[in-house]
Structure 1
Amino acid sequence: MNSLNSRWKKILVATSATALLASALTLPPVQQATADFLSLFRVQRMQAVKITQEQLDQMAQTIRSHVGEVDLQQFGAVEIIEKPEFLPVTLGEAQKRLPFAVKQPSQLPNGLRRAETVTLFTGGLAEFRLQADQVNRLLEGLGAQDLIPPDLSGKAFRVGIPAGARLVYERAEGGQAFLLDQFASPEMTVPPGLDAAALRKSLLNLPILPADLRSQLAAIDDWQRTMVVPYAEGRMEKVDIGGTEALFAKNVHSGQSCLFWVDSGILYRMEGELDREGAVRLARSLR
C-alpha cells in the first residue's frame, strides 16, 4: 500500500497543481459586489492546449537565464488541512461514501475480471498562503508589466483534494491488466480582493509564453470550470469518448498506456497494457 500511497499522492499533487494553474490562467473577473466572500471554482471539463517539447525547453531556458533556478517553496507555504486516506473497501462501500456514482466497464475483454477490493481515496484539503513579493520578483524577472497586489501576502488559497476510487482489473490467470481511477472535481477557493482579471492578463502577457499557447489560453471561454491540460503533440493523442475529448499516451518502452478525460465534473484515468482502440472501447462502455 505504501507504493500506492506514494503514486496517488503524485496524482493528487498533479491534479491540484493543474487545477491551480488553470484557475490562475483563466479566472473570471471578480466583481466588487462579491469581494466580501470567497469565490469557488469547480472543474467540469478539460481543455487540452498544444505545446511542443521545444517550446517547453525554451521557456525553461528563459526562466533560468532571467531569474535563475526557481524553488516553488519561496512563493508561499503549503499546509495539508485534511489529509487524504487510502482505504481498501468493497465496491458497494465506495459507492455509498463517494459523492458520485462509481462506473465500471460494461464490456470487458475475455479473460479479465475486476478485483474484489476497491481503493477508496477519502479526499482532503490543502491551503496555500502566497508570498506576493517573491511572486512579483519572479514576474518582474520574466518581463511582466502587471503584478499581484502586495496585500495578498499571507492570504489563503484553498484546494479541495478530490475523493475517488481505484478499480483494478486482473487477468484470470493472475496479474494486473489495467486500473481505472475516478474522482470528484477539484475545487479551489480564492481570497477576497483578488483582481483575477489583472492576474489573468499579467500571466497571459508574459513574454516567455509562445504566441500560439497564449492564443489557446485566451480563447478558453468557460474559465471557472475548465481544467487546462498541456498536450504534447507527438507524444499524446486526442481521442473521443462519447463526445468528450480525452488524451491518450503510450510509453513505448514499458508498453503501458494512459487515458485521461473529464466528464460532467468527474475525472477519469485509465492505465495499463492497453492499445488506443482497447482503452477507448473500455472508456465508452463505462456504466
Structure 2
Amino acid sequence: MCYDSGMLQAYLDHELKDSEREEIDRHLTGCAGCRKKLQQLMDNQQFTEQILLPYFGSQELNHQDKVWLNLQKTLGKKKGVLTMLRKYRTATAAAAVILAVSFSLSFAPVRALASDLLSIFRVNNFQTVSIDSNDLAQIQKTMRKGAGKVALGDLGHVDMRQSGANGGVTLAEAKESVDFPLLVPQSLTNGYTLKHIQRTAGTTLDFTLDTHKTNDVLKSFGATTLLPDSINGKTFTAAIPVVISASYVGPENQNLMLTQTRSPQLTAPSQDVDTIRDAILALPFLPDNLRKQLASVNDWQHTFIIPSFNGSSQTVTVDGSQGVYMSAPQGTNKESNSERNALLWQNNGVIYALAGNFTEEQGLGLANSLK
C-alpha cells in the first residue's frame, strides 16, 4: 500500500508516532514511487525554508536557532497556528508568507454581504514594514514568558476542510484546477526546463472565537487591551484557494519556482475587524518601531503587509501592478546556486510569486514575460 502526500508530509514534519515512522521507513526501502513522491515534497519544503529562514534569522544563528523554528515551537508543534498553516503550505516561501501574514492582520475587504453583517477580505495592495533581529528577539522573549505553547484550538473551535487532492499534475490538469488563466514564462533562457508542477488543494478553515480563552492568552503576554464579549462565539472563515506551483531547473541545478493562486479570503463579522486589530496593535511585546509602522499603514484594510528584514524587501511595479521584491539579507546564502530571492505581486485577484536565484531586474523581466 502506497502512502498519500498528506501522510508523507506528516512524516517529514515529524508528526507521526515512532511506530508509524518506522513502518514508512520500511515501505520506502522497497517503493520507488513513494520515494519519488517524498523527494518532491522534500524539494518543495527545502526550497520554502531556504527562502523563509533568511528572513526570520541571521547568518549568526544555527539551524535550530532560526526564528521560524523557535516561533513554531513557542506556538506549539502539534496544533499550533504555524503548524496548521504549514500543513497546507504552498511550495514556495512567497505563498507561505501570504498565508502566515494574511491570517495575522491584513486582508483587503472588497464587498459586504447584503445584510452588512459580514466583510470579505482579500489581498489588494502591498506594503513592507521594517523589522530587524532585535525586534524578533524581543517578541520571542516575551512569548516564552507568556502562555508558552498556544494552539489555535486553545483560542476557540477549529474546523478544517480540504477540497481536491494534492500532488503532481500536468500543465493541462493544472489549468483545469483554477478559474483564471494560468500563466507561463516566455523568456526562460540559459537551459531552464520545467521539472515539476504541484497542485495544492484548496482549504477552508472555520474558526469560532472563544474570547475568554483568547483573553487569558493575551493577559499572559501582559496585554491590557482585550477582546470584548460581544465577539465571543463569532465565526471567522478563511478560504485558501487551489495553488499551482511550477518548478524549473537550470543547467547547474539552479531552482526557479512560479506560484499562482487566487487571493486567500477571510470572511469576518465586519464590526469586529477594528476591535481585533486594536488588540493586536496593543500587544505589549510588539516593538514600538513595528507597532508605529503597523498603526500608520494607510488604508490598512486594503493592504497586505510584508516584513522587510534588514531592508531585504522593497516595493516594485510588475506589469502595472504593485508588488514586492524580497532578497536574502546580506551575508546569507553565499553560494550562488543556493540564493533564494522572491518577487510577489497580484493582478485582478490572482497572486503570483516567483522565487529563485535572480536579481530584481531579472525577476521583473520574467514576471513581465508571463503569458
* Range class of TM-score, shorter chain: 0.7 to 0.9
Q: Tell me if the contact between 1:27 and 1:223 (Cα under 8 Å) persists in the aligned partners.
A: no
Q: Tell me if the contact between 2:225 and 2:279 (Cα under 8 Å) persists in the aligned partners.
A: yes
Match of 1:240 among 296, 307, 316: 316
CA gap of 1:231–1:84, structure 2 versus 1, over 3 A, is farther
Q: Which residue number corresponds to residue 345 of structure 2?
A: 262
1:15 aligns with 2:92: no
Q: Which residue number corresponds to residue 96 of structure 1?
A: 176
Q: Tell me if the contact between 2:307 and 2:313 (Cα under 8 Å) persists in the aligned partners.
A: no
Q: Which residue number corresponds to residue 252 of structure 1?
A: 333
Following the alignment from structure 2 to structure 1, what is the Cα–Cα distance between the partners of residues 284 and 295?
14
Q: What percent of counterpart residues are identical?
A: 27
The CA deviation at 1:275 is: 4.3
Following the alignment from structure 1 to structure 2, what is the Cα–Cα distance between the partners of residues 14 and 78?
21
Q: Which residue number corresponds to residue 126 of structure 1?
A: 205
Q: For 1:120-141, what per-residue CA distance to the aligned partner results, in whole angstroms no more than 9, with x for missing partners? A: 3331212223231121123234
Q: Which residue number corresponds to residue 303 of structure 2?
A: 226
Q: For 1:166-218, what per-residue CA distance to the aligned partner results, in whole angstroms no more than 9, with x for missing partners? A: 112234x68563121111100011147x5322222232233332233222212
Q: Tell me if the contact between 1:44 and 1:266 (Cα under 8 Å) persists in the aligned partners.
A: no
The CA deviation at 1:149 is: 2.4
Match of 1:113 among 185, 188, 193: 193
Match of 1:190 among 268, 272, 281: 268
The CA deviation at 1:15 is: 3.4
Tell me the TM-score normalized by structure 2: 0.64
The worse-fitting range, judged by mean Cα deviation, of 182-191 and 141-150 is 141-150
CA gap of 1:79–1:259, structure 2 versus 1, over 3 A, is same
Q: Which residue number corresponds to residue 116 of structure 2?
A: 34
User: What secondary structure does 2:89 align onto?
Assistant: helix
Count of residues paired in the alignment = 277
CA gap of 1:118–1:206, structure 2 versus 1, over 3 A, is closer
AA aligned to 1:246 is V
Match of 1:136 among 212, 215, 224: 215
Following the alignment from structure 1 to structure 2, what is the Cα–Cα distance between the partners of residues 83 and 13?
19
RMSD: 3.2
Following the alignment from structure 2 to structure 1, what is the Cα–Cα distance between the partners of residues 278 and 353?
32
The CA deviation at 1:20 is: 1.5
User: What secondary structure does 2:223 align onto?
Assistant: coil
Q: Tell me if the contact between 1:39 and 1:189 (Cα under 8 Å) persists in the aligned partners.
A: yes
The CA deviation at 1:71 is: 1.6
Q: For 1:31-63, what per-residue CA distance to the aligned partner results, in whole angstroms no more than 9, with x for missing partners? A: 9x723xx32111122222111110111122133
AA aligned to 1:201 is D
AA aligned to 2:313 is E
The CA deviation at 1:268 is: 2.3
CA gap of 1:175–1:64, structure 2 versus 1, over 3 A, is closer
Q: Tell me if the contact between 1:124 and 1:162 (Cα under 8 Å) persists in the aligned partners.
A: yes
CA gap of 1:239–1:195, structure 2 versus 1, over 3 A, is closer
Following the alignment from structure 2 to structure 1, what is the Cα–Cα distance between the partners of residues 100 and 357?
27
Q: Which residue number corresponds to residue 76 of structure 1?
A: 156
Q: Tell me if the contact between 2:147 and 2:217 (Cα under 8 Å) persists in the aligned partners.
A: no
Following the alignment from structure 1 to structure 2, what is the Cα–Cα distance between the partners of residues 174 and 206?
47
AA aligned to 2:340 is S
With a CA cutoff of 8 Å and minimum separation of 6, indicate the structure with the bigger relative contact order: 1
Following the alignment from structure 2 to structure 1, what is the Cα–Cα distance between the partners of residues 247 and 222?
48
AA aligned to 1:122 is A
Q: Tell me if the contact between 1:5 and 1:86 (Cα under 8 Å) persists in the aligned partners.
A: no
CA gap of 1:212–1:104, structure 2 versus 1, over 3 A, is same
Following the alignment from structure 1 to structure 2, what is the Cα–Cα distance between the partners of residues 81 and 227?
25
CA gap of 1:112–1:271, structure 2 versus 1, over 3 A, is same
1:160 aligns with 2:244: no
CA gap of 1:260–1:154, structure 2 versus 1, over 3 A, is farther
Q: Tell me if the contact between 1:16 and 1:159 (Cα under 8 Å) persists in the aligned partners.
A: no
